[in-house]
Chain A
Amino acid sequence: MKSSDPPAGLPEFSNPKRMEQFVELYSQNYPRLQYYLMALLPTSNDAADVIQETSLVLWKKFDSFEMGSNFLAWACKIARLEVLKHHERGRHSARLFATSVLEKLAVQAVAAATRPAPPIEVLESCLAALPETERKLIRRRYEPNSSVKQIAAELDVSANSLSKMLGRIRRTLLACMERKLSQEW
């Protein structure tokens, strides 16, 4: 990006302090906002699109945000509207969930998002306890731009059986995290 040309349509903040506040709040709440969008749009590309769109809207509307109120709740509200818009645009994964399901999920997802996220160290310790081959496989699955189909082709297995293997590993991880976490998550 050419850094001195602001993207069209974006406001230029006259108060750098305000900008700093936004950056701070956005970056602090970013992982939970990401989680919220992933819950509503479980396929990665859609969620990535929507979070970009959401971030720009948040930025545009930041002047209307009252400092001291709940940034995440405000951001989730806007994100949910963006998800609906995304649906309207007819992107393919829009139809993964029925509207009634989406509504219910949105409510529970905000509640879940406002709770503190489980410490990443818990996941890391559970990953460390996996056999090496399983750890490698599950990490491979979450490498950038990787898809189950692509990994399956590399490993010379069907996407279904790879997903089954991944499912087993996820079960182990969830069980491990369940044991280790005392908090609601």
Chain B
Amino acid sequence: MTAKNSPDTGKHQVSNVHRNSNFAELDQAVIHELHQLCTRLHDEVIFEQELARLNQLLDDFSAARKFYLRYVTLHSMMLTSTGKQQRVEAEELSRHITQVEQNENSDRTHPLADTLLSEEQPGLLGLRQQSVVTWAIAAMLLIAASATIWAVRETDVDFAEAHHRGRVQRPTDPAPGVVRIAPAVRLSYISSNARWQPNGAFQPVTALSPGDQLNLLEGEIELTYNTGTKLLLVAPAEFLVQAAGGQLRSGGLVTSVTDAGHGFTIETPNGKVVDLGTEFGVVVDDFGVSEVSVFQGKVEAFPLGKHIGSKKVELTKGRGLQWDEDAMIPLNANLRRFAASVLPRTPGLDLAESQTSLSDEFLSPRLDTAKWRVLGDVRATRTGLDLRGRDAGNQPYLITADPYDPSRSPLTITCDFQFAKLGPAVVPAFSMLTRSSAERGIAAAPWRGTLASCVRCSFSSDPQSGDGILQAGVKLETDREMANISWSGFLRPVAETPYRIVMRDDGVKISFTVSLRDNPSVSKTVTCRSLFQGKANYVAFEGAASGLTRIERVEISRDPIQPPLSRYADFCSRLSNASRQRNREERLLREWTPENSVLILDDDFHAPQLDGSKWTCLGDIQAGGGAIQLGLPNAEAHIDTWKPRPYLLTRKRLDPGAGSLTIVGKIQFAKNFLAGYGASFAVMTRANDQRGQGPGWEHSVLQRGIRANFWPAAWDSKNSLEIHEKPTSNTLILLATEGLEANPQVRSYLFRVVDDGQSVTLTIVDPRRPKRMHRISASTTSTLRTGYVGFESCWGSPVTLDKVRIYQTRASTNSASVPASSSEPPPPKPEA
């Protein structure tokens, strides 16, 4: 038996600092056991034997019961961190009762009172009436409170989530004295990647009210109306909550309306959609086009436009409608396309490589007519394809011979080009078109000669300032002008400089990146949504109306075709698949959290810039896009392992001798990671912040430190995992190596490095195969102690780094600086 004193004796002195003073009669092992038993009991995974043991401890020791009750307190507080709210609501109801008593007549105007009194005889006002009202309210309080005790408070859980992640705009609070029995709308789901538009006036709420404005930049949220109707809003989106629906100002949503929610209405900038019992989706794009698709049941659409007037169109399952100011197009509801328009990505296919469908480097003096056709002055040379602009209205075009429909499978188009011979009268411009017609349209200037209909992304210079402008536009009809969105702030186009444009079009969402071909760090990306369904689906490249543009390479690739979606549940399931993948990674990283440790650095790299308080850089490190890119690609996709390597370094020096360091995170290699000698990723600890100088590859890494290296290209040798020690600039000792059968299809891994000052362990795992961990350990020999932690890739094959956490094991519990506590377990044994 493990108790120190006889059971049920003595009172305990209260202490808030001394370890376990409250449970003095129990020793550490029993407390640890009680912890386990209590948690298993509350999680309902306890075995009979364990329950018997818990009963024995609780029966024998007063301190054990006290401990158990403390656990219950935590459990209860967690469940009712909303208890406050519960009381507030109860008090509000009490206040309301008082008001009812004070004012017999005025309460008849209150909706709740009206409802309660509706079946009373008109002459029975007075005490009888009050008592019915108060009784009913009390009954509601009792029953509702009781029924929701354990079902408490989705809202509060979400409250914290919403509070943590962002804010929902609440323009005005409910008027004082108004009793809110149930929120009209709840925020019932927030995806883990949700980001909200920051706004100083925001307040965190999850019980939404009509008038609340939701500006979602990233992720998905689900609203549940008090009728049970659910609405999934997918970022980027702006949505104004209404009691039975809302206004979708931009973005996409899918909704599943219950019987009680009939009449649910989604307004768009140019019309509205009214439910007649259904599941339907609505998207509003960036060019003022609205679209509704009906998955189940029936809706009424009310398009409104300058030229279409006010219409009412009834749509049934499988039907859709698209409209803008000028035109209305009936559609067969293309659910896959609709999914593409509202879902940010295709979970599960993230790692599936797209297939190259067309590639041309234009090295032949004859254009391959099996691939291409042209309009205007386009000439093939041995150094590229020249698009020569003669005059406005006669722009040169290179057009694919075959159509590429992005709504069938998303397209990625890469084009390298340069402007040649810029003269004073020449305005450089280059455009890439998808969903495009192959014929010129008949619109008036300045769109005369532009292809009849298309989505068009262009890079040009501002005629006034000469600065670079990126534009995305859509031309819906042959005789209509192009509707454009412009972004400024990019470098002005320069002659004879190789540029690279990458355009991605999934049938609705378009992203467009312009960069310097040889320095991709100089780049700008813009995104937009267009619901326009191409009348034809050619891909085209448009040269400037004046001057010469030379195309040097074009590559068109297609994503795998995606499985269909047909119901609200399918959307949710697709989102939850993405969420499951994220959860799997989070779980693995969480499992790697060492006990009794302090999280000393945590960065998910959501900020557009690198956090200078945490990090420094050596070489090419790029922030943005929710991750860090270590290193740059190059045009030839060549990897050189001897060139100086890029490093992300902690700003602070860390001493693993003072507490074991555990460094975890997620990496993704670039597509070329197996080319040549192959890419690598390493974590260096106890490192300095200078690379070596000299001809050997050892000088490409930091001058000193312990280096845990993952080199998947070495899969057929014994060096996939390596631990090096670099005590001085010119000395490199290989402490351990390990072979690893890396899967060429897998580029994403989670890593963990543990350095306790005496030894280093590197663990690598593919998160989709969590049971197959690869591990290598080595004892270190040098006297290296304090140093930076550095994350390294190699030249020519960037590694994306994310979710970095660095933990340090707490100093011994005897240390005066660490407050003792009754509940902390003993420090873990050092890892072998």
Contacts and interface: CB of A to CB of B under 8 A. Distances in A.
A117 B73 contact: yes
Contacts of A4: 116, 118-120, 132, 136
Contact of B72 (A35, A48, A165): A35
B560 interface: no
Interface stretch (B62-70, B342-350, B397-405, B487-495): B62-70
B60 to A, nearest CB: 10
A148 B39 CA distance: 11
B14 A6 contact: no
Contact of B73 (A16, A22, A51, A112): A112
Contact of B98 (A20, A30, A134): A20
Contact of A181 (B16, B43, B80): B16
A109 B73 CA distance: 10
A168 B595 contact: yes
A78 interface: no
A183 B15 CA distance: 8
Interface string A120-159: 1001100100011111111111111101110000111101
B87 A28 contact: yes
A144 B151 contact: yes
Task: Report the contact-size class of chain B (Cβ under 8 Å from the partner).
Answer: 35 or more
Contact of B138 (A22, A42, A51): A22
A91 interface: no
Interface stretch (B274-282, B327-335, B584-592, B739-747): B584-592
A182 to B, nearest CB: 5
A45 B824 CA distance: 30
Contact of A184 (B14, B101, B164): B14
- The dominant DSSP class at the A interface is helix
B234 interface: no
B3 to A, nearest CB: 16
A2 to B, nearest CB: 9
B81 A123 contact: yes
Given A3-B140, A16-B134, A147-B44, A96 B90 contact: no
B336 interface: no
B44 A131 contact: no
Contacts of B523: none
Interface stretch (A7-15, A63-71, A80-88): A7-15
Interface stretch (B153-161, B166-174, B249-257): B153-161
Contact of A131 (B87, B120, B587, B593): B593
Interface residues of A, number: 98
**B77, B90, B819 — most chain A CB neighbours (10 Å):** B77
A34 B78 contact: no
Interface string B802-828: 000100000000000001011111000
A47 to B, nearest CB: 7
Contacts of B51: 96
B70 A185 contact: yes
B73 A118 contact: yes
B652 interface: no
Interface in A25-67: 26-28, 30-31, 34-35, 38-39, 42-45, 47-48, 51-52, 55-56, 59
Interface in A90-112: 96-98, 100-101, 104-105, 108-109, 112
Contacts, number: 268
A104 B65 contact: yes
Interface string B465-495: 0000000000000000000000000000000
Contact of A155 (B14, B71, B583): B583
Interface in B1-39: 14, 16-17, 22, 35-36, 39
B150 A31 contact: no
Contacts of B805: 131
B39 A167 contact: yes
B192 interface: yes
B154 A134 contact: no
A19 B134 contact: yes
B45 to A, nearest CB: 5
B16 A166 contact: no
Interface string B416-452: 0000000000000000000000000000000000000
A109 B133 CA distance: 36
B86 A30 contact: yes
Contact of A137 (B90, B94, B590): B590
Nearest to B59: A101
B76 interface: yes
A14 B115 CA distance: 21
B65 A19 contact: no
Contact of A163 (B43, B143, B580): B43
B614 interface: no
Contact of B825 (A120, A165, A171, A182): A171
Q: Which of A101, A123, A155, A180 has the most CB of B within 10 A?
A: A101
Ranked nearest first, the 9 interchain pairs of A and B with the lowest CB-CB distance are: A27-B90, A167-B39, A175-B821, A175-B823, A52-B146, A163-B43, A174-B823, A31-B83, A148-B43
11 contacts: A23-B141, A27-B86, A31-B83, A44-B79, A55-B145, A98-B59, A105-B68, A118-B77, A145-B151, A163-B43, A178-B823
Interface of B: 14, 16-17, 22, 35-36, 39-45, 51, 55, 58-59, 62, 65-66, 68-81, 83-84, 86-87, 90-91, 93-94, 97-98, 101, 115-116, 118-120, 127, 130-132, 134-143, 145-147, 149-154, 157, 160-161, 164, 192, 576, 580, 583-584, 586-587, 589-591, 593, 595, 599, 602, 805, 819, 821-825
Interface of A: 1, 3-4, 6-7, 10, 12-14, 16, 19-20, 22-24, 26-28, 30-31, 34-35, 38-39, 42-45, 47-48, 51-52, 55-56, 59, 96-98, 100-101, 104-105, 108-109, 112, 117-118, 120, 123-124, 127, 131-145, 147-149, 154-157, 159-160, 162-168, 170-185
Given A19-B134, A118-B77, A139-B157, 4 more contacts: A20-B101, A39-B68, A52-B146, A148-B44
